Every structure is written in structure tokens, then in C-alpha cells.
Amino acid sequence: MTFRCYSICLTIFVAAVSTIATTLLFAQDSAIAPVGYDQVQSILRKRCVTCHNIDETRGDLDLSNLTTTLVGSSAGPIVIAGKPLESTLYTLSAHLAEPAMPPNSPKIPARELDLIRRWIEGMGVEEKTPVFDSDEETDDRMTSAVALDAVPLATEASGWVSVEPLMRPAAIAAFAVHPSEPLLAVSGNGQIVFGNLESGSWRNALDFPAGQVSKLKFTQDGNMLLAAGGVGGLSGTVIGFDFQTGLKRFQLADEVDSILALDISPDGKYVAVGGPTKVVRVYSTETGQPTFSLRSHTDWILSVAFSPDGLLLATADRFGGVFVWNAASGELFHTLIGHQGPVRSLHWSDSGDSLVTSCEDGKLRTWEMHYGKLIAEQVAGVAGVLSFDQHPAGFSIAAGRNGKVTAWNESHQLLGELNLTEQIDHLGFSDGGTSFVLADAAGNIAVYAFDKMEVTKRMVIPTDTDRLQTLLTNLVSRESVESNLPEEMDLDQSLASELDELKATIATLNSRVEMIERQSARLKTQQRVLEESRELRELVNSDNFDDESLRLLESFLAHIDAQIEATEKLLQPKGR
């Protein structure tokens, strides 16, 4: 029998007996390091938060953060400090009581159950339920994300680090142009990377410890950079960096999914975020607490934007829904109807009296804010507007999926166009509007002169292909060594480290598979809904909306209900 066979057999054996061993371990933990909530939170995010989060509290239970976990459900507390066998968080997860969780699935791995048990056993006073000031205006059952005074700020004089090369060229997930300097910020390898648009060189970087960067936003004065990111399907947070020192000013938001939309109010007091949860949340930068949530959207939030005076907040989603809210109270101000596809960007006029929306239906729409009426509509000249920017002087640029870029003056007259080979994911004006920057799906960045529509600089984030080759070589070498190990090798010594590594790898892969399955189910259902809703729009807008059409509409709605029910079943987390 080969070494690999021993590894597989021993892994299966350990998994089979670990449940029994868990009970026996109760008396053997005195010498084991204590378990913190951060270790348990990652397990809950992976296994439970799909159904028990701030936006979907099944059983009136939210497991997305410590406070709501300790509050418990409508049936009472689920965690009894020091008593795991009396805590339903542990007993239901371990299938020691009914209803077993996750429902209709095997119980979660024994190692994760052991961490939950040890955390409950070792809970200290610092993990008691916090008491909120009753005067604070917060959502019910909603906790402070991370208050300013709770964030460990860097003690160094500067947070700047060197740029970490990518292993291969990749699409840029986040992009922001500095409002007054020729500087560009983009997402990198667990970093925010800064480039000089005049020289075309990469200057330095800031580490982003929370995962992958998904959105970047400079404040209007350019003194601070907001970076949103995390792990898709698991977490999302926002860090505010001082642009002079590179040090962290604050961290807020503890979302259960990635953040796709981000903006900060002109006075710097509020941050709005949104993403796949379909909920826009507005946080206070002074306390780190959410001030209110906006729940009218029916699809992923793609863009949020405060008006220049900070009085209004516009939000847009992937289904074409656009709403304007009172930024102080969260009350609905306008609903902007007519978009036939995802709305990717929102741009306010300097006065705040009008709003431009760019939509993947290929149109740019201008709305006045006194009555919420459409006052101008133009075809952007690109196939599906993915990115759009408007200079305060009124001229604008748009780009689409077909690699086409168009430039317009303040009277909506076409000034010029580009036909490029790659899809343009991001763009923005620079240098007072005399130039603009494009980033395509292949990771290429180019600076263009606006008046001539000619490229002046090209940039690509540094790559280290040798590093990738080294990793691949090491992997091949390791597999070769493992396959040629002698059968009589002492298993007690040779398999111990291999077993631990295999278990960790399997757990990581299972987590990724579950996340991909959930995201895939969402995407497939939402795509079907989008396609069928377009057909419904055409039907309702036609002159032939008769009894037969009404029956078709009823059939369509029943079909949607069935799809939603099927998706809910698909989204149930599966133990592996």
C-alpha cells in the first residue's frame, strides 16, 4: 500500500472517530490555547450566516457578529458562557439536539465543532452582550461594526509599503483617480497599489489585511482613501487610510458579503456601502455604527453616491432600480424609473440639482431632483455602459463591453471615440479633465489626452512569473516525492504533519466550493428573472395586453415564486 493510500485511509478514520473523541476532550483542554471569537466567527460565516444574517434572520437569529450571536433568537440565548452542552449553538451544530443544524446536511467538521465548544467554555467577561445607549439611532439587532476607538491604529510613522508583484496579469477589481494629483489607486495582490500617471511608474502600496480589495474611493479633498474589500460570500469591510501617512484612520462595516458600492459624504461623517445583500447601509465614521439601512432594492447594489451638499444619497442596482434618499434620515425622496439593465454609475451635478445615471441598456439619463423627472436621455454609443465619468465642467466619457470609448461635450455632442480590443471595466478623468485613464479586463491601464483621444502612457501592475513557476515546480516535486516514499515508512512520524495539512486544505476547498455553489445559484436564478422580466416589460408596454396576456403574467409570477423557492433550497449550506 502506498503512502498516499495511507493518507486517505487515515484521514477517513480520523473524521469517523472525531465525533466520539469530541466528548472525551472536555476534560483535556486545560493546556490548550483559548479560542477567540474571531476563530468562531469564520466558522459561523461559512456554515450559518447564509440563513442567519442581519438581512435574513431565520428563527429571529443573526449570527453575523458577536453581539447578535450573544443576544440569541426568539427562543432565548443560544450561548451559555462556560456551558457548551447547555448552549444550542453547540448542541444543534453537533447534532446532539433537534433541530440539527445545518438543516438536511451532515454536521460540520469535528475540528470546527471543537473550536465552538472551547470558545463557549472559555468565554470571559469581555464577550458578554454589549449594552447600547438607547439614544443611539441604530437598526434593531444591529451592532456597531468597528468603532473608531476599537480599531488598533498603526504605530509606525507611515503605512506605505513596497508593491507586491502579481503572479500573472489580472483584471483590476477596484480603481480610483486622485481628484487633484496625477495619481491612480488600483487593487493589487492583497494591496492597494498607487501609480504616477505622469511618469507611468508604480509608486508604493498599502496593505489591505481584510482580503481582496473590491472598491476604492478618494474623498473630495484627496486627503483620505477609502478601501472596501473582504471575502466574497463571507465578509466585507471598509478601511479609511490617511493619504499623507498611509496610516489607518478608521475601519467600519462588518458585512456578510463583498462590498461592490462605496461612497463617503462630503463632510466625511458617513459612509454608504452596498453589494450582493441588496441592502444599502450607511455607517457613521465617528462611531462605526450603522445609522440606517435601505432595503428597497431587489438586486445587487452596484453604485451609491452622496450629493455634493450631502443632503441626498442615490443608490442603484443590477436590475435597473435607482432610488434617491434623504441622506440624514433614510427616507425615500425619488424613485427613478425607466432603466432597462444594470446601472453601474451615478454622477451628481455640482449644484446637486441633477443626477446622471449610466445603464447597461446603452443610455445616459439625466434626472432633475426637484420632481425626480427625466430631463435628458442620450445613447452613449457603446454596447452596454460599464463605466462612465463626468467632469464638473460637463463633458464626459463612457465605455462599454465591446471596448468602445466615447467622449462628449457639455451639450451631449460627440467629440471622439476609441475602438479598443478589450472590455473597459474602469475609467476616470485626471489632471483637471485634460486627460482620462482607462483600465481594461486584461489588467492594462492607459492614460489618454482628452482633446486628441491619443494615448500618452501605458501601465501594467508588476508581475513575477518566476514566482508562479517556482510554486508549480515545488508542487510537482512534492507530488513526486510523496508517490515514491517507501511503504514501510513509520506512519506515526510521516503522516502527522501531512494529515493536518490535508484537513486544512480540504476545509478550505469545501468552503470555496460552497461559496461558488451559492453564488452560482443566485446568478442563474437572477439571470432567468432578468430575461423573463424583460419579456414582461415588452408585453405590458405593448398594445395587446388582453386577458390572454393577463394569464401569461399570472403564470410568470407563479414561475418566479417557484424559482425563489428552489433557490432558497439551493442556498442552504451543505456540510461536506
Cell of 533: 422580466
Domain check: are 510 and 377 in the same one? no
Domain-ending residue, one of 460, 482, 506: 460
Q: Which residues of 183-205 are buried (b: 16+ CB within 10 A; e: fewer)?
A: bbbbbbbebbbbbebeeeebebb
Asked if the structure places residue 249 within a domain, the reply is: yes
C-beta contacts of 14-20 below 8 A and 24+ residues apart: 14/499, 14/503, 15/109, 15/110, 18/109, 18/110, 18/111, 19/94, 19/107, 19/110
Domain check: are 219 and 361 in the same one? yes
Domain check: are 38 and 1 in the same one? yes
Domain check: are 527 and 456 in the same one? no
Domain check: are 228 and 361 in the same one? yes
Q: What is the pLDDT of residue 537?
A: 64
- Polymer length of the chain: 576
Q: What is the pLDDT of residue 299?
A: 96
Domain check: are 103 and 162 in the same one? no
Asked if the structure places residue 386 within a domain, the reply is: yes
Question: 435: which residues sit within 8 A by CB, 6+ positions away?
Answer: 197, 429, 447, 448, 449, 450, 456
Domain check: are 293 and 399 in the same one? yes
Structural domains counted in the chain:
3
Domain check: are 85 and 122 in the same one? yes
Asked if the structure places residue 165 within a domain, the reply is: yes
Domain CATH number, residue 453: 2.130.10.10
Asked if the structure places residue 338 within a domain, the reply is: yes
Q: Other C-beta atoms within 10 Å of 410: how many?
A: 11
Q: Return d(Cα 127, Cα 41) in angstroms, integer.
A: 13
Q: Return d(Cα 449, Cα 435) in angstroms, integer.
A: 4
Asked if the structure places residue 575 within a domain, the reply is: yes
Domain check: are 352 and 452 in the same one? yes
Question: Against a cut of 0.85, is the pTM above it?
Answer: no
Domain check: are 381 and 311 in the same one? yes
Question: 145: which residues sit within 8 A by CB, 6+ positions away?
Answer: 237, 251, 252, 253, 254, 283, 288, 289, 290
Domain-ending residue, one of 131, 161, 193: 131
Reading the chain (576 residues) residue by residue, the pLDDT tens digits are 444 444 444 344 444 444 444 444 444 444 466 888 888 887 887 788 778 877 777 878 888 788 888 888 888 898 998 888 889 898 888 888 888 888 888 888 888 888 888 999 888 544 544 333 333 333 433 333 333 333 334 445 789 999 999 988 889 999 999 999 999 999 999 999 999 999 999 999 999 999 999 999 999 999 999 999 998 888 899 999 999 999 999 999 988 889 999 999 999 999 999 999 999 999 999 999 999 999 999 999 999 999 999 999 999 999 999 999 999 999 999 999 999 999 999 999 999 999 999 999 999 999 999 999 999 999 999 988 999 999 988 899 999 989 999 999 988 899 999 999 999 999 999 988 999 999 999 999 999 999 899 999 999 999 887 776 777 777 676 656 555 555 444 444 445 556 666 666 676 666 666 667 667 666 766 666 666 666 666 666 666 656 666 666 667 677 666 666 666 665 555 544
Asked if the structure places residue 31 within a domain, the reply is: yes
Domain check: are 60 and 180 in the same one? no
Domain-ending residue, one of 65, 96, 131: 131
Domain check: are 153 and 12 in the same one? no
Asked if the structure places residue 478 within a domain, the reply is: no
Which residue range forms the structural domain that includes residue 212? 148-460
Asked if the structure places residue 469 within a domain, the reply is: no
